[in-house]
């Protein structure tokens, strides 16, 4: 069963990494997975929360940082060292088939910290702002998905890595989001703007 899952994971990786190869994705995907590319979004979020929610906005930022920190720590420092799955670009016998579009990196692959971190943030924001903006789920999940997909396309993660990272991030984001709304009930929080 595990062998079949890994074989399917390899096939899906190849379908994305090689099969979807095109000049536009070759240009776009390295940007999407680059943390500095999203800096304007993070800066906007901090300014938006402070400007519109004042003290509660600062508390929300602290919860966002906690969400990111938990997702990153659990994925990178707890699970990755325990599983020790090699990245596709480092896996002997497989790396020759890969179209590498960024530097491979030396760390382990499972789960993707990019996926866990961004899906945690996306889920947190979705939980916190769901009553105010129903469409936030779509926007945040597409944002996190684009980053996770880019990780596979550029050749540094398998699809299973990003899928499990996304699930981990969603669980963490849901827990921290509901904890935030327990501290600041939705009625109080959503009357902020």
Q: Bigger pLDDT: 20 or 185?
A: 20
The answer as to whether 8 is a domain residue is no
The answer as to whether 44 is a domain residue is no
The percent of residues above 70 in pLDDT, for the chain, comes to: 95
The answer as to whether 98 is a domain residue is yes
State mean pLDDT over 53-81: 94
The answer as to whether 15 is a domain residue is no
| C-alpha distance from residue 138 to each of 49, 89, 143, 147, 187 (Å) | 20, 31, 8, 14, 23
The answer as to whether 38 is a domain residue is no
Domain extent, residue 88, equals 49-190
pTM of the model: 0.90
State mean pLDDT over 39-67: 92
Residue-averaged pLDDT of the chain: 89
The answer as to whether 94 is a domain residue is yes
What are the tens digits of pLDDT across the range 79-132? 999 998 888 888 887 777 787 787 787 788 899 999 999 999 999 999 999 888
Q: How many domains does the chain have?
A: 1
């Amino acid at each position: 069963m595990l062998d079949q899952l890994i074989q399917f994971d390899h096939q899906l990786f190849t379908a994305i990494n090689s099969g979807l190869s095109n000049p536009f994705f070759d240009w776009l995907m390295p940007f999407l997975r680059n943390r500095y590319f999203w800096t304007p979004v993070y800066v906007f979020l901090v300014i938006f929360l402070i400007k519109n929610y004042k003290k509660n906005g600062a508390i929300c930022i602290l919860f966002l940082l906690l969400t990111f920190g938990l997702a990153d720590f659990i994925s990178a420092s707890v699970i990755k060292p325990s599983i020790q799955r090699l990245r596709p670009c480092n896996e002997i016998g497989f790396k020759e088939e890969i179209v590498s579009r960024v530097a491979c990196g030396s760390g382990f692959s499972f789960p993707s910290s990019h996926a866990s971190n961004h899906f945690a943030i996306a889920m947190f924001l979705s939980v916190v702002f769901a009553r105010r903006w129903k469409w936030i789920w779509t926007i945040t999940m597409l944002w996190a998905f684009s980053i996770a997909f880019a990780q596979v396309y550029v050749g540094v993660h398998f699809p299973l890595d990003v899928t499990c990272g996304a699930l981990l991030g969603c669980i963490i984001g849901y827990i921290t989001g509901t904890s935030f709304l327990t501290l600041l009930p939705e009625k109080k929080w959503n009357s902020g703007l």
